[in-house]
Amino acid sequence: MSKQTADTEKTPKVALPPSSVINDFSINVATVNGSGSQTANLAIMRSLFRMGIPVSGKNLFPSNIQGLPTWFWIRVSSQGYTARTEHKQILIAMNRNTIQTDIEELPKGGVCFYPDDSKLPDSRHDITAYPMPVRDIIKKLDPPRELRDYVSNMVYVGSLAYILGIELSEIESSLISHFSGNQKPVVLNMKAIQLAYEWSGENLKKQDPYYVERDTQTENMILIDGNTAAALGSVYGGVGFVAWYPITPASSMPEQLQEFLQQLRTDPETGKANYAIIQAEDELSAAGMTIGAGWAGARSLTSTSGPGLSLMAEYVGLAFFAEIPIVIWNVQRMGPSTGLPTRTSQGDLMFTRYLGHGDTKHIMLFPNSMEESFEFGWRSLDIAEQLQTPVFVLSDLDLGMNVWMSKPFKYPDQPMNRGKILSTEDLDRIESFARYRDVDGDGIPYRTLPGNAHPNAAWFARGTGHDENARYSEDPEVWERNLERLWRKIESAPRYLPEPVQREIPGARIGLIAYGSTDPALLEAQDRLADQLPSDYLRIRSVPFNEQVSQFLQHHDRIYVVEMNIEGQMRQLLTLEYPEFAHKLQSLCKNNGLPLTAAWVEQAVLAKEQI
């Protein structure tokens, strides 16, 4: 910590008013895309986290490169809740084009920080407004011309820090981390923050109830986004080949893979990489390369989003029928078509489950957190090889691109499981090898990998009709028998898949079902409903469904399936699998591109129950 920062923070602690709201509010930072505000926003979020306060952040940004409005929402929650909130009590209004509507959305008693040369609407006499002399401070600081817009954002960091009580030492530490120890930008930004902090102390009188106080709830925790967590988990799972094509919101996963693989998978003696990562010319090529690597024996994956997944459909059908293990991360965004590339959704379930023409069914995993994004990174590679089939991990923009609190990741608790692979010694011991023969009765055949020198090891991978020896066949009985085996394999998959997670409340007769990034909203909504309408909550983590899902449906009178799409795609999958319980299932769907809130879930359930 610099001496100047330490001197600024020598203000003695005072007792807070009885009406104070401590560590329980949300902040809306309204800026312009491309203005460099993300550095300031993350500095606020990370400093709160370093103070031990549970915090979450969501970046709502346009799909253009620069110029349109962008908002960054920070939730501070002493109870540890991380879902988006309906209302933001504090507004930092840095965008002159949206300031009128942003202020109108503030609740009564809200707070607005604004540049002192901006005009506020005359209608809001029920909020507290704090002006900030942004231009004067930047003029006094006189940063390089090309940096003025970026450094201007630090003024609101300083003013907010003074009014709320954010420790400047933690802001400085956050900037040091952000700039990887490079002191020059840290010093420049901290000067702007300190000037704003000191000006606020001399000129602003606190009139709002919102404060932050140091806590201990984030000790031994980290901040990370889901795409980074998934990339790291895949590295720990032994991924050897990655092919990808840029698409929002999935691109940062292979970019992080490139960085991690370079650090962790380079031979220290020769300096050569023992992995391959390729940016293909399109998603079709990326899928083809991934399948080729999977056939060759590498643990291979690709990442994409809705439009890219559409292009991969034919190749995915090949991998399903030829039984090639691959992993595809689908970081979902709002469709159909190009849709809203920078908005979140859960609209790809039905498409993914049956991706490909003819009779196809795929494995799907649904991480809910940073820990599961990491875990499913390595576990999906195991599952793909055990079942010899494509495995889809359905994340989404909210989970993949936003920064979340997380416990440190656990090293994989089991060795890599490559499934039924025959070595040269294995082939010497058995009478014959047939690539698609169901030896064990579970639908999963044995395979050999290229490089096995045994004369019986070779087989021909094909997407056309084939018998158990991988020979071309149009025999109707052979075709039917092969498809029945494939179906048996997929239906027996649950024993390899993550089981659902259940959270029970005594006396509950209704059930809630959700999956993926909606989990924080469901957990909070379940708590909010506990007194007037106790409910049990089941979080689905994989498809095909586990027996636990059937038991949950059986034991509850009514079940609400909560998801971010129009027609309730998870409910449709449950209805197809368990038609006997279809009358119990009701959809609660919200599909506006924004992460769910607990308030919406609570109100939707109560409305259905007519309470």
Domain ranges of the chain: 3-219, 224-406, 420-498, 501-608
In this predicted structure, what is the pLDDT of residue 17?
A: 81
In this predicted structure, what is the pLDDT of residue 452?
A: 96
Q: Are the CB atoms for 111 and 103 separated by under 8 Å?
A: no
**Distance from C-alpha of 469 to C-alpha of 232, rounded to nearest angstrom:** 38
**Distance from C-alpha of 356 to C-alpha of 34, rounded to nearest angstrom:** 39
Distances in Å between the Cα of 240 and the Cα atoms of 235, 265, 292, 299, 395 are 8, 9, 12, 5, 21
Distances in Å between the Cα of 343 and the Cα atoms of 61, 304, 507 are 8, 15, 38
Q: Are the CB atoms for 344 and 595 separated by under 8 Å?
A: yes
Reference 575, options 563, 561, 585; nearest CA is 585
**Distance from C-alpha of 577 to C-alpha of 553, rounded to nearest angstrom:** 11
In this predicted structure, what is the pLDDT of residue 67?
A: 79
In this predicted structure, what is the pLDDT of residue 61?
A: 92
The whole-angstrom distance between residue 441's C-alpha and the CA centroid of its chain comes to 37
- Same fold for the pair 3-219 and 501-608: no
The CATH number of domain 501-608 is 3.90.550.10: no
Give the CATH number of domain 3-219: 3.40.920.10
525 burial class (0-12, 13-18, 19+ CB within 10 angstroms)?
Answer: buried
Strand order in the sheet with 241-244: 276-279, 241-244, 300-304, 326-332, 390-396, 363-365, 542-543
Give the CATH number of domain 224-406: 3.40.50.970
At residue 255, the 3 state secondary structure works out as helix
Reference 528, options 407, 406, 611, 404; nearest CA is 611
| pLDDT, block means (10 residues), the chain with 611 residues | 55 70 98 92 98 97 84 98 97 96 96 95 91 97 94 97 98 96 96 98 97 98 98 98 98 98 93 96 98 98 98 98 98 96 98 96 98 98 98 98 97 94 97 96 97 95 96 97 96 96 94 98 97 97 97 97 98 98 98 98 97 86
In this predicted structure, what is the pLDDT of residue 11?
A: 46
**Type of residue numbered 524:** E
Whether pTM > 0.85 for this model: the answer is yes
